[in-house]
Amino acid sequence: MNIFTTILASLRHARARAHQDSVRDWLILVTFSTIMLIGIIVWNIWAFDTVASGGVIGSAVPKASPIFDPATLDAVRTVFKDRAAEESKYLTGGYRYTDPSQ
């Protein structure tokens, strides 16, 4: 916290000694703003031209791996087929259920 008070005190001291010139301050502000605006416009034109011509801004993204593995999908299909076969055994009488309470 001490460094912030030192910086603020230095800025107040420098401002108190500085000659007040509003024209100079406005000229600096407008010049800086104009330079920043020109920089932003140039950057946007460059970025648009790069993207419009098929380029990439920054590093290129590597090819993504597929979302799912076909072997995994086949394994899931096998599980569902096995469950369907078991269900059909229960429905067709392949398994006999004996009620232990009888």
Pick the closest to residue 35 from 43, 46, 45 (CA basis).
43
- Give the model confidence (pLDDT) of 60-96 as tens digits: 777 777 677 788 889 999 999 999 998 888 888 777 7
- pTM confidence score: 0.44
Which pLDDT tens digit goes with each residue over 6-27?
Answer: 878 777 776 666 677 788 889 9
Chain mean position to CA 92: 54
1 band by pLDDT with thresholds 50, 70 and 90? low
Instruction: Count the neighbouring beta carbons within 10 Å of the beta carbon of residue 87.
Output: 10
